[in-house]
Amino acid sequence: MSRLRVEPRVTESVIAQYLVPVVAIVLTLLSGTVLFTFLGKAPSAVLYTFLIEPLTSRFGIGEVLLKMAPLLLIAQGLAIGFRARVWNIGAEGQLIIGGIFASVIAIHYNESESTWILPAMVFAGMLGGIFWASIAAYLRVRFNANEILVTFMLSSVALQILYFLVTGPLRDPDGFNFPQSVVFADSALFGVLIEGTRANTSLLIGLTLSVLAYVFIRHSLPGFKLSVSGAAPRAARYAGFAESQAIWLGLIIGGAAAGLAGVGEVAGPIGQLQRTISPGYGFAGIIVAFLGGLHPIGICLAAFFMAILYVGGDMALISVGIPNAATTIFQGMLLIFYLASYLFVHYRISFQGRAAAT
Amino acid sequence: MTETLIFICAGTMAAATPILFAAMGELVVERTGVLNLSIEGMMATGAAAAFAVATVYESSLLGFAVATISAGLLSVVFATLTLIFLANQVAAGLAVGILGLGVSALIGKKHEGFTIEPLKSVDWGFLSDIPVVGRILFQHDFVLYAGILLIAIVWFVLTRTKLGLIIKAVGEAPEAAHAIGYPVILIRFLAVFFGGAMAGLGGAYLTLAYTPLWAEGLVAGRGWIAVALVVFGSWRAHRVALGAYLFGAISLLELSIQGLGLAIPSQVLSAAPYVMTIVILVLISRDARQIRLNSPASLGVTYRHQS
């Protein structure tokens, strides 16, 4: 009798590493198509609206770039922590606090036309994200409190803080009691990147950060230490790399990037502070980070793809009547198929005919 | 005043039940060495599926059954990923959790805005008529009592039976358990399925008895609190259960404080359970040695047969 066996590879398969995200995307699209065919939608229409339609118009491409900006920022930041196995799953909360910090400046100096407003907001948003992530880092380093649970709980707390602020202290006094702040002045908004679209210059921050992330991982000592802490914790300890340093660095970088993403939202497409400033970018960023193989270049591609899914999801809601939940389901499936196919990076399937028969 | 107290005590039991089911399930899963972070998604799927079935077929019992099966199926995805495809348990938990949230939104969409008849209370005869105590303890539905029974069963199995010993052996030293002939992967697989089914039941209790309606985001972090409670309870059934009731009480804070007429912003009260979770985690985890002693030694570590 012959049987299949899973055997460890001596070295990681490089080809498999490149193939894994592709396989994950193909399998997700296949399963998604099957699912929505089952729900009575034409498979071709589903695939077209999700993947092609966002890229067929200037508006669509602008929307994709608009949504790519926060995903790119968050994923680049998170990936650096994930490499060190620092599990920050609270980017959503860090984004919210970053958005709030930036908004406070925009609201306070609403009359000002100074060119320093936007840079100040960017700085404040980054500090906000760092502040929120630092709480988790401190509690983990000082009290050993699990950062996965703490960062998630802090996200829920951040959302309540946002609700409180937009219904009270930061609410527009002339806004008929709507839970939102004043509309920001032009000096507090990112410039438009491509004429005729909503894509704004915050994408440039994301791209700059991607380059910095590449340099950080490849050419800096702290970046190297982080990677070793993740890949071989015992070796890292033996070499004297402090675990607490990895936790602080991983969370602070993730928080800063998520905070920046928050600025990009309030000073971008939203243009004010309101109850919803992110459609779950913080969680989608986790998937983008993995799908990009925790590598800066891969993450750029993955963020672009995920942004297409977001825009495609919005379009599918209108043109094919597919509920918004589809985007979330696709996100979950992407990571599931990614993790499943990743087995083949470290292992190979061997077919043992004779050996098992004897 | 007595009225408020009775209301709080009785309400605590109901509010605790969804978290109790999920936490008891997760306790068993973690005891076998697997960290399942997708509880939130499984609860949501159970909640939506149960509500959809209950509104269409007008049967709560069928709702609970379907919730158990659908969340159980999700847990099979998680088990396959982590136990067969050897995926990192944290990442796999996030992935399946997100899928669960998406599936729940898809299922629940059509049923938003409906309400159903909540479960009927069990008739305890004269017990229900005892003043104060009767109203706190003996005027609930049968699923709430099943939750209490579950505490006893999990406690008994883990501390007094051979099955409990096997479960703990698998969680403490999977290689050793494998060496003496226990099917480590199969035991973990079944435990994960049990955990998923219990999370589904907990979710179903939310929509069929506690609220009783479905809205997206209804689970509101209860699944994550359940995971935190297992740490809080130092991986022991009775302590985890105690934690669940504590959180039931905290989540009632909002209603009771409003009842007292105190002017505290509602957002402060809504944030209370999450802040409390953090505080409790900090207090419990402070002693790193104690956590290492109590937590299953192989928790979160991928295991592969070295055959």
Query: Measured in whole angstroms, how far is the alpha carbon of residue A261 from the centre of its chain?
Result: 9
Name the residue facing A157 among B274, B291, B304 (closest C-beta). Answer: B274
- Mean pLDDT of the region A186-207: 92
| Chain A residues within an 8 Å CB radius of B86 | 343, 346-347
* Predicted-complex ipTM score: 0.94
| Parent domain of B61 | 2-294
What lies within 8 Å, CB to CB, of B121 at 6+ separation is: B128, B139, B140, B141
Name the residue facing B103 among A145, A329, A335 (closest C-beta). Answer: A329
Whether A358 is covered by a domain: the verdict is no
Instruction: Calculate helix-pair angle for B142-160, B2-31, nearest 10 degrees.
Output: 40
**CA nearest to A82 within chain B:** B91
pLDDT at A120: 97
Query: Measured in whole angstroms, how far is the alpha carbon of residue A352 from the centre of its chain?
Result: 42
Helices (H), chain A: 14-38, 43-47, 58-83, 91-108, 117-143, 147-167, 202-219, 221-231, 233-238, 243-266, 281-291, 296-319, 325-341, 343-346, 354-357
Whether A96 is covered by a domain: the verdict is yes
Residue of higher predicted confidence among A2 and A285 = A285
Name the residue facing A144 among B80, B265, B288 (closest C-beta). Answer: B288
Whether B232 is covered by a domain: the verdict is yes
Whether B307 is covered by a domain: the verdict is no
Whether B153 is covered by a domain: the verdict is yes
Residue written as token pair 């006893």: B152
Whether A344 is covered by a domain: the verdict is no
d(CA B126, CA B149): 21
Distances in Å between the alpha carbon of B60 and those of B52, B65, B143? 10, 9, 11
What 8-state DSSP symbol labels residue B33?
A: T
Q: Any CB–CB contact under 8 A between A247 and chain B?
A: no
Mean pLDDT of chain A: 91
Residue written as token pair 């099955």: B163
d(CA B249, CA B141): 18
Residue of higher predicted confidence among B250 and A290 = A290
Dihedral sign computed on CA atoms, order B221, B223, B228, B229? positive
Instruction: Calculate helix-pair angle for A117-143, B266-285, nearest 10 degrees.
Output: 40
Query: Measured in whole angstroms, how far is the alpha carbon of residue B43 from the centre of its chain?
Result: 8
Q: Any CB–CB contact under 8 A between A132 and chain B?
A: no
d(CA A284, CA A308): 13
Contact B212, B115 (CB under 8 A): yes
Give the pLDDT band (50/70/90) at residue B265. Answer: confident
* pLDDT tens for each residue of A149-176: 999 999 999 999 999 999 989 999 888 8
* pLDDT tens for each residue of A125-158: 999 999 999 999 999 999 999 999 999 999 999 9
d(CA A102, CA A121): 4
Enumerate the β-bridge partners of residue B121: B141
Domain count, chain A: 1
Whether B301 is covered by a domain: the verdict is no
CATH number, position B200: 1.10.3470
Residue of higher predicted confidence among A106 and A177 = A106
Contact B264, B271 (CB under 8 A): no
Instruction: Calculate helix-pair angle for B237-260, B2-31, nearest 10 degrees.
Output: 150
- Mean pLDDT of the region B172-197: 96
- Mean pLDDT of the region A97-102: 98
What lies within 8 Å, CB to CB, of B18 at 6+ separation is: B43, B202, B203, B205, B206, B210, B222
Q: Any CB–CB contact under 8 A between A349 and chain B?
A: no
Whether B304 is covered by a domain: the verdict is no
Whether B171 is covered by a domain: the verdict is yes
d(CA A85, CA B262): 44
Whether A308 is covered by a domain: the verdict is no
Whether A46 is covered by a domain: the verdict is no
Whether pLDDT at A318 is above 80: yes
| Chain A residues within an 8 Å CB radius of B221 | 152-153, 156
pLDDT at B1: 67
Q: Any CB–CB contact under 8 A between B158 and chain A?
A: no
Name the residue facing B102 among A6, A149, A325 (closest C-beta). Answer: A325
Give Dmax (Cα) for chain A.
85
- Mean pLDDT of the region A259-269: 97
B268/A164 CB distance under 8 A:
yes
Whether A6 is covered by a domain: the verdict is no
Q: Which of residues 321-340 of A touch B (CB under 8 A)?
A: 323-333, 335-336, 338-340
Q: Residues of A231-248 as b/e, b for ≥16 C-beta within 10 angstroms?
A: eeeeebeeeebebebbbb
Domain count, chain B: 1
Q: Residues of B218-256 as b/e, b for ≥16 C-beta within 10 angstroms?
A: bbbbbbbbbbbbbbbbebbbebbbbbbbbbbbbbbbbeb
Residue B43 backbone phi and psi in degrees, to 5: -60, -45
Whether B280 is covered by a domain: the verdict is yes
Whether A354 is covered by a domain: the verdict is no
Whether A108 is covered by a domain: the verdict is yes
Whether pLDDT at A4 is above 60: yes
Give the pLDDT band (50/70/90) at residue A41. Answer: confident
B281/A168 CB distance under 8 A:
no
B288/A139 CB distance under 8 A:
no
Query: Measured in whole angstroms, how far is the alpha carbon of residue B173 from the centre of its chain?
Result: 26
**CA nearest to B101 within chain A:** A328
Give the number of other CB atoms < 10 A from CB of residue A112.
14
* pLDDT tens for each residue of B143-162: 999 999 999 999 999 999 99
> Hey, what are B191's tokens?
């435990």
pLDDT at B90: 95
| Parent domain of A242 | 69-292
Mean pLDDT of chain B: 92
Whether B19 is covered by a domain: the verdict is yes
Is B3 exposed, middle or buried (CB count within 10 Å of its CB: 0-12, 13-18, 19+)?
exposed
Q: Which of residues 48-107 of B touch A (CB under 8 A)?
A: 77, 80-81, 85-88, 90-92, 94-106
Nearest CA distance, A7 vs chain B (angstrom): 10
Whether pLDDT at A229 is above 90: no
